Structure 1
Amino acid sequence: MVPNVTGLPPLHALMYFEAVARLHSFTKAADELCVTQSAVSKQVRNLEHSLGFALFERQHRSVKLTAAGDELIAASQPLIRALRECVTRIRHSHGGNVVTVICTQAVAHYWLFPKVVEFNQLRPDVTVHIISTNEITVESCAEHDLGVLYGKGNWSSLSCEKLYDEEVYPICSMDFESPDIEKPEQLLGLRLVQLDPQKWHWMNWEDWFNHFDVKYVPTANVLVYNQVTLTLNASTRGLGVALGWDFMTKDMIDSGMIRRLGPYSFKTGRSDYLVHTASRPLSPAAQAFKAYLLDTVNAKR
């Protein structure tokens, strides 16, 4: 390994390491961080490469810290905890009528931002700040007033309200030329727009096809982007077929911007939840924005 001697290791990778070390499991860390196990493994490997030494001994069904890992976790856990507490104190002491909401970039762009615009027309006295990042975790949600978190809703430290279930299906532009889709494997013959599996921690075409027992091998002409916003934009402009998440694409379909391609849909059993830390009461401004979001969701059910 070649160490990075330029300074401190990347903080986001350190957070992944801390979760694995605390939970003694890459799988449990992935569940807590709301990403795939491979994403956790990649971040830990990046951290080990940056530091120049191994942090874990990989065993068959468990992980064990090396001596260096023991030393790093002992030093980093109090610092991470203190940083979280400091940010929380500052945010709440200076917040006033300011509400911070953390979510993924796709949720921010396609769902949350329009809601903020509508809410500000009703409550101009409340300022809502959106923090969009795909490195969202249980811990980062607790550092803000509210968060939109993907998973099964089983986070003991958070209060959770379901927003929408995950449903994913192929979408394309209105004038995209394609045959009638009578079986999922017909999609393999079309130009697909793929999410970069190295940058995207959630579902992509391989996962979607696996659900229908179809083997997917990317073709030479596949378009690869690292954000949902880019894949949907490419599909809207007729460049290919992308995966569409129902909560993002339903309004676009209803307005005639895009169309579903075929009848096949994957309901994953996971959902997006509006969350906030269970140990701290919400400010009146945050309570008002939370109530508004839940009212808008319930009105469409």
Structure 2
Amino acid sequence: MPPLDWLRTFEAAARHENFTEAADELGLTQAAVSQQIRKLEAHFKITLFHRLARGVELTAEGDAYLPSVRSAIHALARSTEDLFGKKGSKVITIACPASIASLWLVPRLQWIIASRPKISLSVAAIHRPADYEAIKADIEIRFGNGKWEGKIATHLFSEVLSPICAPSLLVGVPEGKWQSLPCIRLAGRRSGWSEWAIEAKMSPPRKTAIRFDSFITALDAAKAGVGVLLASLPLSERALAQQEVVRLSPVELAMPIGNWLVRNPEVQMRAEVEELCRLISHSVASDLPF
């Protein structure tokens, strides 16, 4: 077995794909990280990283070794916390995209906490996929196809898109002519107006009011009357229930990917974490008092 410090450095360097960023996380110099990686490679007599102009990239051997190293480090950290950490109620961390946290999870927290008032929660907002590895949460909510290497995923809800807008935006607009209104667009790789228009067999709105990189701000803009938003119906349920926005069409675009409750199988979860997973799953069907 190589020294544990070398393995921690290997895991951090692989996660960041950069020796300098790994050094910042571990409190080392870049030279120290590079030296530890060289010693680890010499120990195994293999090359673990390709050195690139900017950053590093795992070799096939390094990529194959990483899951075992990561699993062992996580298991050791969890066992240390369970045995020697602060006694009493432990905080359970949930990592999820900011839009899921604000628009889907928060409305359900009152019901979850009322069901198990002794559970202590910490919600961490995710802004990029790499943040999941950095935070190392007990529970994750991820958007995708449900397949993440080394993870157990339970389906929560599907993504369904349909146009919505503020009631005030429809004043003076002839019935069924909302396509003439400006539309709100979202940046990023996701299904949009063109795909929905094909499903609805109609022309998409042509005039763009404004583009956002966040669904939260896009929904706020729709509620303010800025334009028509092709919205996630699950994330807009509160705004629709409170009539801050209204649906403009019964046509829905069902996306092939959805939102999943994700956890690590190799780490034995505490009973309260198992219970929280169950509560989150059951909250999908709960009647929320909007």
Given the two structures, how large is their TM-score scaled by the length of structure 1?
A: 0.63
Matched, 1:280 2:275: no
Per the alignment, do residues 270 and 101 of structure 1 end up closer, same or farther by CA in structure 2, a change over 3 Å counting?
same
Matched, 1:291 2:254: no
Distance 1:118 1:212 in 2: 36
Per the alignment, do residues 218 and 280 of structure 1 end up closer, same or farther by CA in structure 2, a change over 3 Å counting?
farther
Query: After superposition, where does 1:26-37 map in structure 2 within 5 Å?
Result: none
Matched, 1:256 2:246: no
Distance 1:91 1:135 in 2: 24
Q: Look up the match of 2:141.
A: 148
1:122: how far off?
3.7
- Can you list the C-alpha shifts for 1:238-259, whole angstroms capped at 9, x where unaligned? 1111121111112321222210
Unmatched 5+ residue regions in structure 2? 1-13, 19-49
1:218: how far off?
6.2
Secondary structure, counterpart of 1:147 in structure 2:
strand
Secondary structure, counterpart of 1:166 in structure 2:
strand
1:155: how far off?
3.2
8 Å CA contact retained: 2:183, 2:205: no
8 Å CA contact retained: 1:101, 1:129: yes
- Can you list the C-alpha shifts for 1:195-218, whole angstroms capped at 9, x where unaligned? 123xxx433435544655777696
For this pair of structures, how many residues does the alignment match?
A: 235
Distance 1:83 1:154 in 2: 18
Sequence identity of aligned pairs in percent?
A: 16
8 Å CA contact retained: 1:88, 1:143: no
8 Å CA contact retained: 2:74, 2:267: no
Q: Look up the match of 1:240.
A: 227
Per the alignment, do residues 167 and 179 of structure 1 end up closer, same or farther by CA in structure 2, a change over 3 Å counting?
farther
Secondary structure, counterpart of 1:222 in structure 2:
strand
Q: Look up the match of 1:24.
A: none
Per the alignment, do residues 192 and 282 of structure 1 end up closer, same or farther by CA in structure 2, a change over 3 Å counting?
same
Aligned counterpart in structure 2 of residue 205 of structure 1, from 180, 193, 199:
193
Q: Look up the match of 2:175.
A: 180
8 Å CA contact retained: 2:17, 2:56: no
8 Å CA contact retained: 2:162, 2:247: yes
8 Å CA contact retained: 2:75, 2:266: no
Q: Look up the match of 1:100.
A: 93
Given the two structures, how large is their TM-score scaled by the length of structure 2?
A: 0.66
Letter in 2 for 1:226: D
Aligned counterpart in structure 2 of residue 227 of structure 1, from 203, 214, 236:
214
Secondary structure, counterpart of 2:285 in structure 1:
helix
8 Å CA contact retained: 1:142, 1:276: no
8 Å CA contact retained: 1:173, 1:258: yes
Distance 1:171 1:262 in 2: 8
Aligned counterpart in structure 2 of residue 162 of structure 1, from 155, 158, 173:
155
Distance 1:203 1:16 in 2: 29
- Higher mean Cα deviation, 261-270 or 113-122? 113-122
Distance 1:195 1:234 in 2: 12
Unmatched 5+ residue regions in structure 1? 1-13, 19-66
CA-atom RMSD in angstroms = 4.0
Secondary structure, counterpart of 1:176 in structure 2:
helix
Q: Look up the match of 1:171.
A: 164
8 Å CA contact retained: 1:146, 1:275: yes
Q: Look up the match of 2:35.
A: none
Secondary structure, counterpart of 2:169 in structure 1:
coil
1:121: how far off?
3.4
Bigger Rg over Cα = 2
Distance 1:97 1:208 in 2: 45
Q: Look up the match of 2:258.
A: 271
Q: Look up the match of 1:36.
A: none
Distance 1:81 1:270 in 2: 28
- Can you list the C-alpha shifts for 1:148-195, whole angstroms capped at 9, x where unaligned? 11222233522222111111011101222244338xxx62x3211111
Distance 2:228 2:107 in 1: 25
